[in-house]
């Protein structure tokens, strides 16, 4: 890594983390959504710095460009301005304890991954080839192809299910425009 | 200078030159569009400012500079200010990977006439254009006005729907070139028969899908529903004035230039000459000139469309996108794959 790469890495890492903090700390859901987009974009820049432009671009195309558009779309349709403070179950001690436990578990997990990565970091990076060709080869190898296809079936099932729910099972043949997220 | 400093300097010069070229092209386009549209409608168009009215963009710029910047009551101030910036930045970003000509040698160095020669060039363009929608959505939402909100939502749904078709239209071309790099795609169209090797013939279906999807993607007539003035005043930029309005306009024109540049590279052989004999004239490779000609033809096509076609209805737009364009794009991929599997 050259000095320039390191400077760029810290630049994008700071933006990604800062934006991620805004996502959880903000009361206004629209700000949160846009902060998440910024965070994803910086993450993609880090992937680029790591020498895997294909993953970097996919990150933006799939998350920032497709999924977040749907989030933003819903937020604008509902015109949510401010998050309401929930009074109900969210504040009960049992939920707080559960949240704390799960959060702690996640923190431990991240710590373990980080420690492993710093210990054998260069060894990982050495056989880390994520060019488009390599990704495709791995994806369509016997190891992953069934999982990959099963995932696509799962997504189609979810899609049909959400359409059925949205239509409400009525037989009225209204000519409503199809939902924009049909492709996901 | 160390090699790194040299690289950085070259990159900086390229950025400045291409940025300047785009700004010039943008202002020229605002003039040419009005002028050409006027001729198509038996009018004269702006012809008073300077010779042939050529200074009109300058006069418009000065006027816009001195106008008041309005922020509507109840608007979300920061997002309202950020929206034009987002729109303009995403518009300029995608031009970074478009090659303006083949590699040239200056002082013993090979210099590419593009800012970044990415391995995933065409996917990068796709990614950036998918971010372009946020500028419009933000502008529409933050203005706190029902017309702008409707315009923003419409355009979000439209761009999202046609983006898919846009991506699908490239897949056949990527298969032919077996690379995502834009320069490789251009080079894959080189051959002894000149323009017969270009992708608009080899990938005719993909080309048609691209033209339609690209028109929708840049919100141009007949798909300019985001600013349908008969229903939505001026759509997402209703509340904008002064330079912020100018920025939104700039984003729109730069997007149009980008779409034409990509079309020229991907489907019309980029810097390649229509006849191989015309590539090098008097010992000079005139690839840049060919590219600019193709770009100009594309831009003229967009103006021509605007002068010819009426606006489609919103439900027609959605039905066409999802039920015609996407399936045709898919079939094109299957057809191209079948060709490679069984005949090539």
The string of pLDDT tens digits covering residues A22-79 is 988 877 888 888 889 889 989 988 888 887 888 888 888 888 888 888 888 888 777 6
Judged by CB atoms closer than 8 Å, whether chains meet at B119 and A4 is answered as no
pLDDT at residue B30 is higher than 60 = yes
| Distance of alpha carbon A151 from alpha carbon B255, whole angstroms | 35
- Chain A residues closer than 8 Å to B156 by CB: 69, 72-73, 76, 180
How many beta-carbon pairs below 8 A join chains A and B? 87
Tokens of B343: 């005949």
Same-domain pairing of A30 and A103: no
Judged by CB atoms closer than 8 Å, whether chains meet at A177 and B318 is answered as yes
Residues 6+ apart with CB under 8 A from B126: A57, A61, A65, B163, B166, B167, B170
Candidates B341, B339, B316, B343; CA nearest to B204 is B339
Q: Could you tell me the pLDDT band of residue A126, with boundaries at 50, 70 and 90?
A: low
B129, B96 in Cβ contact below 8 A? Answer: no
- Chain A residues closer than 8 Å to B119 by CB: 53-54, 131-132
Report pLDDT for A14. 93
Same-domain pairing of A72 and A29: yes
A34: in domain: yes
| Tokens 């040698």 found at | B105
Secondary structure in 3-state letters for B299-323 = HHHHHHHHHHCCCCCHHHHHHHHHH
- CB contact B137 to A (< 8 Å): yes
Which residue in chain A is spatially nearest to B79 when comparing CA positions?
A31
| Distance of alpha carbon A69 from alpha carbon B315, whole angstroms | 20
Return the number of other C-beta atoms located less than 10 Å from residue A151's C-beta: 11
Helix axes B146-177, B326-342, angle to 10 degrees: 10
Judged by CB atoms closer than 8 Å, whether chains meet at B318 and A178 is answered as yes
Judged by CB atoms closer than 8 Å, whether chains meet at A37 and B322 is answered as no
Q: Left (φ > 0), alpha (ψ -120 to 50) or beta: where does B158 sit?
A: alpha
Same-domain pairing of A116 and A138: no
Judged by CB atoms closer than 8 Å, whether chains meet at A57 and B126 is answered as yes
Report pLDDT for A108. 94
Query: Which of B130, B138, B318 lies at the smallest CB-CB distance from A61?
Result: B130
Same-domain pairing of A47 and A106: no
| Tokens 């001729």 found at | B39
The string of pLDDT tens digits covering residues B104-150 is 777 667 777 787 777 788 888 888 888 888 888 888 888 878 888 88
The string of pLDDT tens digits covering residues B4-17 is 788 788 888 888 98
Number of domains forming the structure of chain A: 3
Query: Which of A57, A69, A175 lies at the smallest CB-CB distance from B133?
Result: A69
List beta partners, residue B284: B281
Torsion of CA A118, A120, A122, A125, to 10 degrees: -100
Residue B105: strand, helix, or coil: strand
Cis amide leading into B222 (omega within 30) = yes
Nearest C-alpha of chain B: how many angstroms from A123?
A: 25
Mutate to test the interface with B, among A65, A67, A137 (most CBs of B within 10 A): A65
Same-domain pairing of A72 and A123: no
Tokens of A60: 């933006």
pLDDT at residue A102 is higher than 90 = yes
| Distance of alpha carbon B273 from alpha carbon B294, whole angstroms | 10
A92: in domain: no
Candidates B165, B155, B148; CA nearest to B134 is B155
Report pLDDT for A183. 45
Nearest C-alpha of chain B: how many angstroms from A116?
A: 31
Same-domain pairing of A139 and A123: no
Report pLDDT for A39. 92
Mean pLDDT of B17-32: 88
- CB contact B134 to A (< 8 Å): yes
Mean pLDDT of B306-325: 86
pLDDT at residue A178 is higher than 90 = no
State if pTM tops 0.90. no
Tokens of A26: 């903000």
Q: Could you tell me the pLDDT band of residue A17, with boundaries at 50, 70 and 90?
A: very high
Query: Which of B133, B149, B180 lies at the smallest CB-CB distance from A132?
Result: B180
Report pLDDT for A184. 41
Q: Could you tell me the pLDDT band of residue A162, with boundaries at 50, 70 and 90?
A: confident
Assign 3-state DSSP to chain B and report helix, strand, coil percentages, each to 5. Answer: 70, 5, 25
- Chain A residues closer than 8 Å to B128 by CB: 60
Q: Could you tell me the pLDDT band of residue A107, with boundaries at 50, 70 and 90?
A: very high
Residues 6+ apart with CB under 8 A from B1: B9
pLDDT at residue A98 is higher than 70 = yes
Same-domain pairing of A47 and A16: yes
List beta partners, residue B106: B109
Highest mean pLDDT among A87-91, A154-158, B161-165, B191-195: A154-158
Higher pLDDT, A92 or B294: B294
| Distance of alpha carbon A45 from alpha carbon A109, whole angstroms | 24
List the single range of A125-139, B265-279, B327-341 with lowest mean pLDDT: A125-139
Higher pLDDT, B312 or B257: B257
| Distance of alpha carbon B254 from alpha carbon A73, whole angstroms | 25
| Tokens 């959880």 found at | A24
Query: Which of B120, B141, B319 lies at the smallest CB-CB distance from A132?
Result: B120
Q: B202: part of which helix (H) or strand (E)?
A: helix B199-202
B309, B216 in Cβ contact below 8 A? Answer: no
Output the CA–CA distances (angstroms, integers) from residue B39 to A85, B43, B44, B53, in the order listed. Answer: 60, 5, 6, 14
The 10 Å CB-count burial string (b at 16+, else e) for B238-265 is bbbeebbbbbbbbbbbbbbbbbbbbbbb
Torsion of CA B153, B155, B157, B159, to 10 degrees: -150
pLDDT at residue B53 is higher than 60 = yes
Q: Could you tell me the pLDDT band of residue A91, with boundaries at 50, 70 and 90?
A: low
Q: Mean pLDDT, chain B, as a whole number?
A: 84
Full DSSP string of chain A:
--HHHHHHHHHHHHHHHHHHHHHHH-SSHHHHHHHHHHHHHHHHHHHHHTT-HHHHHHIIIIIIIIIHHHHHHHHHHHT--SPPPP-SGGGSHHHHHHHHHHHHHHHHHHHHHHHHHHHHHHHHHHT----HHHHHHHHTSTTTHHHHHHHHHHHHHHHHHHHHHHHTT------PPPPGGGG-
Identify the domain boundary among A26, A49, A83: A83
Same-domain pairing of A12 and A66: yes
- Chain B residues closer than 8 Å to A64 by CB: 127, 130-131
Q: What percent of chain A has pLDDT over 90?
A: 18
Report pLDDT for B328. 92
pLDDT at residue B59 is higher than 80 = yes
Mutate to test the interface with A, among B81, B129, B134 (most CBs of A within 10 A): B134
Which residue in chain A is spatially nearest to B155 when comparing CA positions?
A73
Q: Could you tell me the pLDDT band of residue A121, with boundaries at 50, 70 and 90?
A: low
A151: in domain: yes
- Chain B residues closer than 8 Å to A131 by CB: 119
A89: in domain: no
| Distance of alpha carbon A133 from alpha carbon A141, whole angstroms | 12
Same-domain pairing of A37 and A49: yes
Report pLDDT for A157. 93
Same-domain pairing of A146 and A69: no
Q: What percent of chain B has pLDDT over 90?
A: 6
Domain that holds residue A144: 131-168
Judged by CB atoms closer than 8 Å, whether chains meet at B130 and A180 is answered as no
Query: Which of B118, B126, B164 lies at the smallest CB-CB distance from A53?
Result: B118
The string of pLDDT tens digits covering residues B146-182 is 888 888 888 888 888 888 888 889 888 888 888 888 8
Q: Provide the greatest CA pair distance for chain A.
A: 64
Q: Mean pLDDT, chain A, as a whole number?
A: 79
List beta partners, residue B79: none
Report pLDDT for B78. 81
Same-domain pairing of A8 and A23: yes
Q: Are strands B109-111 and B104-106 parallel, antiparallel or unpaired?
A: antiparallel
Report pLDDT for A89. 53
Mutate to test the interface with B, among A39, A44, A130, A180 (most CBs of B within 10 A): A180
Candidates B171, B182, B155; CA nearest to B210 is B171
Same-domain pairing of A57 and A113: no
A91: in domain: no
Q: Could you tell me the pLDDT band of residue B252, with boundaries at 50, 70 and 90?
A: confident
Judged by CB atoms closer than 8 Å, whether chains meet at B315 and A175 is answered as yes
Judged by CB atoms closer than 8 Å, whether chains meet at B126 and A53 is answered as no
| Distance of alpha carbon B47 from alpha carbon B33, whole angstroms | 13
Q: Could you tell me which residues of chain A have a Cβ less than 8 Å from any Cβ in chain B?
A: 2, 4, 30, 34, 37, 41, 44, 53-54, 56-58, 60-61, 64-66, 69, 72-73, 76-77, 79, 131-132, 175, 177-178, 180-183
Model ipTM value: 0.79
Q: Could you tell me the pLDDT band of residue B287, with boundaries at 50, 70 and 90?
A: confident
């Amino acid at each position: 890594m050259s000095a320039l790469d390191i400077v760029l890495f810290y630049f994008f890492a700071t933006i990604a983390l800062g934006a991620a903090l805004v996502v959880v700390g903000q009361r206004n859901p629209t700000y949160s959504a846009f902060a998440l987009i910024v965070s994803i974009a910086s993450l993609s820049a880090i992937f680029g710095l790591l020498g895997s432009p294909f993953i970097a671009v996919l990150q933006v195309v799939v998350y920032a460009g497709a999924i977040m558009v749907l989030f933003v779309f819903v937020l604008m349709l509902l015109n949510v301005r401010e998050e309401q403070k929930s009074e109900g179950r969210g504040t009960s001690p049992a939920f707080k304890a559960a949240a704390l436990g799960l959060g702690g578990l996640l923190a431990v997990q991240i710590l373990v991954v980080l420690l492993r990565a710093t210990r054998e970091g260069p060894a990982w990076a050495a056989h880390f080839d994520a060019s488009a060709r390599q990704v495709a080869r791995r994806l369509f190898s016997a190891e992953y192809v069934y999982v990959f296809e099963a995932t696509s079936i799962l997504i189609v099932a979810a899609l049909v299910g959400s359409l059925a729910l949205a239509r409400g099972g009525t037989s009225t043949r209204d000519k409503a425009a199809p939902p924009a997220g049909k492709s996901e | 200078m160390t090699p790194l400093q040299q690289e950085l300097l070259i990159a900086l010069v390229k950025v400045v030159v291409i940025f300047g070229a785009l700004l010039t092209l943008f202002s020229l386009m605002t003039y040419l569009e009005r002028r050409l549209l006027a001729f198509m409608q038996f009018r004269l168009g702006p012809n008073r400012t300077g010779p042939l009215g050529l200074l009109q963009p300058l006069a418009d710029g000065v006027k816009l500079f001195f106008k008041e910047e309005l922020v509507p009551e109840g608007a979300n101030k920061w997002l309202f200010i950020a929206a034009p910036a987002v729109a303009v930045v995403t518009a300029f970003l995608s031009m970074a990977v478009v090659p303006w000509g083949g590699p040239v040698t200056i002082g013993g160095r090979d210099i590419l006439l593009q800012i970044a020669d990415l391995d995933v060039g065409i996917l990068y363009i796709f990614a950036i254009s998918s971010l372009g929608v946020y500028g419009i959505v933000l502008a529409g939402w933050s203005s706190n006005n029902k017309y702008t909100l409707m315009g923003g939502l419409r355009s979000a749904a439209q761009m999202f729907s046609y983006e898919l078709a846009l991506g699908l239209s490239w897949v056949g071309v990527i298969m032919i070139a077996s690379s995502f790099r834009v320069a490789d795609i251009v080079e894959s169209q080189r051959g002894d028969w000149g323009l017969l090797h270009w992708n608009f013939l080899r990938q005719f279906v993909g080309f048609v899908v691209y033209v339609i999807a690209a028109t929708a993607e840049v919100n141009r007539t007949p798909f300019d529903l985001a600013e349908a003035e008969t229903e939505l005043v001026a759509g997402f930029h209703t509340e904008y004035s002064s330079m912020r309005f100018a920025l939104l306009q700039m984003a729109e024109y730069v997007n149009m230039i980008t779409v034409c540049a990509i079309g020229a590279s991907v489907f019309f052989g980029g810097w390649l000459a229509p006849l191989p004999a015309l590539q090098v004239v008097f010992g000079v490779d005139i690839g840049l000139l060919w590219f600019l000609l193709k770009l100009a033809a594309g831009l003229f096509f967009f103006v021509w469309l605007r002068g010819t076609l009426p606006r489609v209805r919103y439900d027609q737009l959605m039905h066409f996108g999802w039920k015609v364009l996407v399936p045709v794009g898919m079939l094109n991929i299957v057809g191209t794959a079948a060709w490679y599997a069984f005949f090539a």
